[in-house]
Structure 1
Amino acid sequence: MSRKFLTSFALATALLAGAVAAPASAGDFKAEVKYAEVNGVKLAYYMRGQGKPLVMINGFISTMGLWDPLLVEDLSKSHQLILFDNRGVGLSTDTAENNTTIPQMADDAAGLIAALGLKQPDVLGWSMGARIAQQLVIRHPDAVGKLVLAAPNPGGSHSVPADKDVEDKLNDPALPMEGKIGLVFPPEVGGVKAGQEIFARILEAGKNGTAPNDFVVSKRTTERQDRARTTLWRADQSNFENLKSVKIPVLVTDGRYDLIDKPVNALIIARQIPFAWLAYYDGGHAFLFQQHAQFTATVDAFLQDPAPTP
């Protein structure tokens, strides 16, 4: 996904909040942001829910405040969620000389797991977060219990890119925001209306404190992450090859109408990982927001399955 689009995607909460009145369910929960020293930076995080820990890794320039509140609420009923900002994003710090890579952010996630004293928590990664999560289990095979990948990409020559017209639209500054949202929430399953409702929930959660009011990403971080997830990821052939050595249970998911990371990428990954689960949903790149109840039901079934590691 292009830098320009994702920047607009992250900021669309403010643009679309007035369009739909759909407040998040606040209850008595208030997000308490804490910090962990990891690999020379401070990673901001908060926790919510009860049960076995589930570390959630968000996508390109997306903060911990940009998860859909209904998805977070659903998952928190059965899991202790650990949501955090990648280095340089939102409330997390970075170093001036850093040259961000997907493996580096995977090492950060492993460092956070260690800093919090978590014993093989489960991990969920979405979009670029699914790339980080793949590297996490490859580089730190003993750090994770089970893995959920949402809208993943295998990297290198094995990845199937978006169509040229989709890339052109993503990079077209004249395309209205509604058109770009339609690329993430395609018209086959609700389109712009779904995007508006989700963004409204996100903004309301930031206002009422059920999630951090945490949406800022610098130009420097945007450029660093963009290079990490495009130029460097496309040049890396090792991620796909190393997936065949993953020994933990893995659930691979995507939306049937994902225009950004095409659904076939999920199939390619699932075939490479021994005994992986594979599930598709009605939705696009952000299917797990649109289909939060169905997605949560699958995740719960997978994470609670007592089947032994392959």
Structure 2
Amino acid sequence: MKTSVLFCVCASIVLSCGAPAANAEQVSLRQSMVCGKQSARPDRNAAALKENVVEGRNGPIAYYRFGRGTPVVLITGYRASIAEWNAYFLGELARHHEVIVFDNRGVGRSAGVAGRYGVNYGIPDMADDAADLIAALDLRRLTIVGWSMGGMIAQQLVTMPDRRFDRLVLLSTAPPGAHAVPLAAETDKVLSGGGGPDAFANVMGVLFPSNATSDAVRCFVGDMFAPPGYEETRIPDDVTAQQHRAMERWFADDEAATALRRVRLPTLIIAGADDEVLADANAVALNRLIAGSRLRIVDDAGHALMFQYPRQLGRMIDAFIGP
């Protein structure tokens, strides 16, 4: 079902939101978890994939780039590495775009020298890292895609005084300041590594709707982006703590919300109707903050909807970017 108006009742949270969200649609997609069964994915092409490192102002930033066309930089989320991108989703984007994925500071080869990143960095600092990568690669006509915490970094990034950005895609994320609906304490505990002996199943349970959890447990690992030579990355406890504090400050950053209101950039906001991590009420709030933005709420989709609908989501973003 599609509707031209998305009402203010989102994820069972009633917002006193006044006017309805602008340019908003609720959409249904056909579920397509691939379960690692198809070889047509970018991380199977060893000759075309090599991890590279650029030196940012605060330390090294490790990245991969592949595909051909206008560039798309993807920023990943809380306690995530580049492996948390779905390989088929990236492959769909790479059909018409050059795709750049990188690890946030403290993760993988972006870890740098111990202590170099400091002990109190926030979302603006991680946006500086992304800006340094973009400048080092001299990217133009650029689309930024940010998922979850990566969407917060992307929001901060586009408020910086740089004219490289053409478009912004915000996926399963939240606005800054009082406009946000932060994640619940129990969900926070699971995502922070407190899931106990059934940690993986518990994480799948909060990333996906209940009717997709069994498929996610079976398919998630096989569908992760796994380039040759990229080792499984453990997120250090201190990085988890830093990222957690960074998000807490984001949810209190009304100054960032004011800056976001001044952004004039074509923006697509996508959220799952069944997101248990960052409720889709956040997407509605973002739609009101960013002038002229488009909002798409996906039925039967959770926080990691790029694993539920990898190709459809890639095509949706590709159509928004255009040639």
Q: TM-score range by the shorter chain?
A: 0.7 to 0.9
1:296 — aligned with what?
A: 314
Aligned AA (1:239): A
Q: Deviations over 1:234-260 (max 9, x none)?
A: 221122222211111000011110011
Secondary structure at 2:251's aligned position in 1?
helix
Which residue is equivalent to 2:11?
none
1:64·1:212 contact (CA, 8 Å) conserved in 2?
no
> In 1, Cα distance between the equivalents of 2:267 and 2:98?
19
Counterpart of 1:249 in structure 2 is 266
* Contact 1:156 1:236 (8 Å CA) reproduced: yes
Q: Which residue of 1 aligns with 2:219?
A: 197
2:255 paired with 1:238 = yes
User: Structure 1 residues 259, 118: closer, same or farther in 2, change over 3 A?
Assistant: same
Relative to structure 1, the CA distance from residue 23 to residue 202 in structure 2 (aligned partners, 3 Å threshold; closer, same or farther) is farther
8 A contact 2:70–2:141 mirrored in 1:
no
What is the 5 A alignment of 1:94-243? 94=112, 96=115, 98=118, 99-163=120-184, 166-167=187-188, 173-174=195-196, 176-177=198-199, 178-188=201-211, 190-202=212-224, 205-206=226-227, 209=228, 212-230=230-248, 232-243=249-260
* CA distances 1:77-109 after superposition (whole Å, capped 9, x unpaired): 111001111111111134515122100111111
1:44–1:92 contact (8 Å) kept in structure 2: yes
- Supply the distance in 1 between the matched residues of 2:233 and 2:38 (Cα, whole angstroms): 18
CA contact (8 A) 1:38 1:108 kept: yes
**Matched residue type, 2:207:** V
Which amino acid in structure 2 is aligned with residue 182 of structure 1? Answer: G
Cα distance in 2 for partners of 1:72, 1:170 equals 23
Conserved? CA contact 2:195–2:203, under 8 Å: no
Question: Does the CA-based 8 Å contact 2:72-2:100 persist in structure 1?
Answer: yes
Q: Which residue of 2 aligns with 1:60?
A: 78
Q: 2:40 aligns with which of 8, 11, 25?
A: 25
Contact 2:195–2:202 (8 Å) recurs in 1: no
Output the CA distance in 2 between the equivalents of 1:57 and 1:21: 23
Secondary structure of 2:165's aligned partner = coil
Q: Secondary structure at the match of 1:54?
A: strand
Following superposition, the deviation at residue 292 of structure 1 comes to 1.2
The separation in 1 between residues aligned to 2:126 and 2:150, in whole angstroms, is 9
Aligned-residue Cα RMSD (Å) equals 2.3
Given that residues 189 and 195 in structure 2 are in contact (C-alpha distance below 8 angstroms), is that contact kept between their aligned partners in structure 1? Answer: no
SS at match of 1:91: helix
Letter of the structure 2 residue corresponding to residue 193 of structure 1? D
Q: Output the CA distance in 1 between the equivalents of 2:55 and 2:190.
A: 39
Helix, strand or coil at the partner of 1:60 = coil
Q: What is the Cα deviation at residue 66 of structure 1?
A: 2.3
User: 1:195: how far off?
Assistant: 4.0
**Structure 1 residues 166, 83: CA separation in 2 closer, same or farther (over 3 Å shift)?**
closer
C-alpha change, 1:89 and 1:165, in structure 2 (3 Å) is closer
TM-score, length of structure 1 as denominator length: 0.83
Contact 1:63 1:214 in 2 (8 A): no
In structure 2, the partner of 1:3 is none
The answer as to 2:108 corresponding to 1:85 is no
Q: Is the partner of 1:242 in helix, strand or coil?
A: helix
Offset of 1:175 from its aligned partner? 7.2
Q: Choose which of 53, 60, 63 in structure 2 pairs with 1:45.
A: 63
Q: Which stretches of structure 1, 4 residues or longer, exceed 6 Å deviation after superposition?
A: none
What is the TM-score when the length of structure 2 is the normalising length? 0.80
Q: Is the 8 A contact 2:182 2:251 kept in 1?
A: no
